[in-house]
Structure formats: C-alpha cells, structure tokens
Amino acid sequence: MSAKLRIGLLGLTHDHIWDHLPALTASENAELVAAVDPNEPLLKRVANETGCRTYESLEQLADAEELDGVFVYSSNSEGAELATWAAQQGWHVVIEKPMAADLAGADAMVAAARQADVQLLVNWPFAWWPQLQKAIAMVSTGEIGDLWQVKYRAAHAGPQELGCSEYFCDWLFDVELNGGGAMMDYCCYGCILAQVLLGSPSRVTGIAGRFRKDSLLVEDNALIAMQYARAMATAEASWTQIGKLTSYTTAIYGSEGTLLVEPRAGGRLLLATAEHPEGEAVAVPAVPLHLQNPIEHLVHCVRTGEKPQPLCLDRNARDAQEILEAGRLSVLNDRAVSLPLPIV
C-alpha cells in the first residue's frame, strides 16, 4: 500500500460527493485518482474540480487503476451492487447511508467485505458532529442512567427545494432505486441512532404517506416507532417541513438525565438532570482528525485495523437497514412487524 491511500469514486449521482471532495483533495493521507460514472457531465465536473482520471465503466476502471479503497456515491440500489463488487476486488469501501435499498443488498455487501477481509464503512453526515459523538460516549459510560427513549427527526422542505441535483432527485423519487421515499432517505438516521444506543428492537411500526407532494410516487413523510423490552425509539422523516425548527435534533432520555443534541457544526450538547432540570451545556472537546470526516476515518481504520466508530460500523448499519425494512413492511401490511425478520 502506498503512503497515501489511492481512492476511486464509484458513481457520482449522490450529491454528498460534492460535500466530501474538498476534504478528500486536501487530505495528506488519501489521494483521489479516478472516478467512474455513466453520466458525462458529472465526469467532466469531477475532473475539472480534482484533476482525477475518469472512466465510463467499472471494467475500464479495474483494468487501468490500482486502488486501495473506493467511495460509493450512487443510488441505494446500485450502490449496494457497486460496494459488493468493489469488496470482491479487494478494495476497502465507504458507502453513503443508509447503505442499501433493502436488507438483501446490505447483507450482500457485508458478506463480500467479510470474505475479502476489507473495511466496509457506512457514512452518516451526523457521525462527524462532535456533540453527537460526545452524547454517545456519555450514554456508553452510563452518565444518564438506563436509556428508555431515543428520538431523532430529519426534515426539510424537500430534495428539490433543498437544491438537490436532477441526478440525485431522479433516484430519490424512485421506489426501486431508493428503496422508498422519505422513509428510506431520512428515517434511516433515527434507526441507526437507536441501533447504536439501544440495539435491535423487538417490534417495529411504520407510518408513511404522501401528504403534501401529490406529484411524487413515493411517500413525503414517514415515522418508524421501535419497541424494546423497557425502551422505545422513534425516527421521523419529512420532505415537506417549513423552516428548520426541530430538524436534525436528537433527544436521548435516561433514568438519570436527558440529553438534547443540537445539529451540525457548532451545535450544543445540553444535559438536564434532577438538579438542573432546565439543562446545562456540556463541554464538547475537539475530536481527533480521524473522527472528523469519512476520508480520514477510513485511513485510520485501514492503517490501524481498528473498527469504525459505532455509527459507521457495517453491522450496525445492516441492523438499521433491517429496521427500515420492517418499517416498510409495516406500512405495506398495516401491522407491527417483529424482529428479526425471517431469512428468505
């Protein structure tokens, strides 16, 4: 392996790629060498912004390049296939959340990574918020006692209103390529958070509907409720919310305290206890480089052999995918669904 990890991009239709490019091109530990996508305008854009080589097919890329790892920026359905193929090439893989369009796709890539003995990381934008990392650490050390509820709401006015590209929207609004609509896109955050903090639920109930955007063929709002023996969790999703109030906020309830995690860089972490019921800000330390973005995290995991942080761990993401699948089945069959799902 070279001094810098040689990185390729598989797919460019997921808009998160353009958010990650600056960190990738600036990294002292990784080097972007190539990208593949069937869309010529996207290939031109990435070449202009980075100078990397571009290819229109996976075969061309595999024949021409020696890579250490890849980042997958494709639809949820195609991404699962690309990640599985990449692992079979012996390349480490980072794929965008949730990781697949269905549980079968998630299982396939986990199996391929295990067989090839390569790292498989799932990137969640909120995984790099220092205040959320601190909250998870506080929970793990018992600082708020026994957990009994986890809540997360992901919401905005809609992908088009947010400014997402036509390439991104084309598959976000396709039930086969995305795996659903707002439920798959945004309930996944609450599902992974619940999985990390509480483990797998015993029962899942999903609610979804097209409440405001009649032109869509997928749901524009959704909720997944997760039931545990002595706890519960909810994952909310909206593509129709006006304004930012309540969006991307995490609430974690324990027997000894309540944590409120404000979103994004600079967001506060608040702790309420019996002694301080109104809540007080918790000091959030600066995080090391390898916990600041998916590029540096992959480098760290490959070089040290350490497991990814809990939110990025493939097994946790796979189990969150199972919760999402149960939520979808609950909506389709109008009933609660028990976990684990039967093997088919």
pTM of the model: 0.97
Burial class (CB in 10 A: 0-12, 13-18, 19+), 341: middle
Q: How far apart are CA 46 and CA 62, in angstroms?
A: 19
Question: In the chain, pLDDT over 90 holds for what percent of residues?
Answer: 98
Neighbouring-strand partners of residue 31: 6
- Residue 223 phi/psi, 5-degree rounding, is -145, 140
Q: Reading across the β-sheet that carries 5-10, which strands appear in turn?
A: 53-55, 30-36, 5-10, 69-72, 92-96, 120-123
Q: What is the pLDDT of residues 193-243, one digit of tens each?
A: 999 999 999 999 999 999 999 999 999 999 999 999 999 999 999 999 999
Q: What is the mean pLDDT of residues 36-62?
A: 98
Mean pLDDT (whole number) for 292-321: 98
Contacts 24+ apart (CB under 8 A), 334-340: 336/203, 336/204, 336/205, 336/227, 337/203, 337/204, 337/205, 337/206, 338/202, 338/203, 338/204, 339/200, 339/201, 339/202, 339/203, 339/204, 340/200
How far, in Å, CA of 179 to CA of 283, rounded? 39
pLDDT of residue 12: 99
pLDDT for 218 equals 98
**pLDDT (0 to 100) of residue 2:** 58
pLDDT in the model for residue 278: 97
Which pLDDT band, with edges at 50, 70 and 90, does 276 fall under?
A: very high
Average pLDDT over residues 331-342: 98
The pLDDT of residue 3 is: 87
Q: What is the pLDDT of residue 290?
A: 98
In the chain the domains, ranked by start, together with CATH numbers, are 5-125+291-309 (3.40.50.720), 127-288+320-338 (3.30.360.10)
pLDDT digits (tens, 9 = 90+) for 150-192: 999 999 999 999 999 999 999 999 999 999 999 999 999 999 9
At residue 1, does pLDDT exceed 60? no
The pLDDT value recorded for residue 343 is 80
**For range 263-279, the mean pLDDT:** 97
pLDDT band at 58 (very low <50, low <70, confident <90, very high): very high
Average pLDDT, the chain: 98
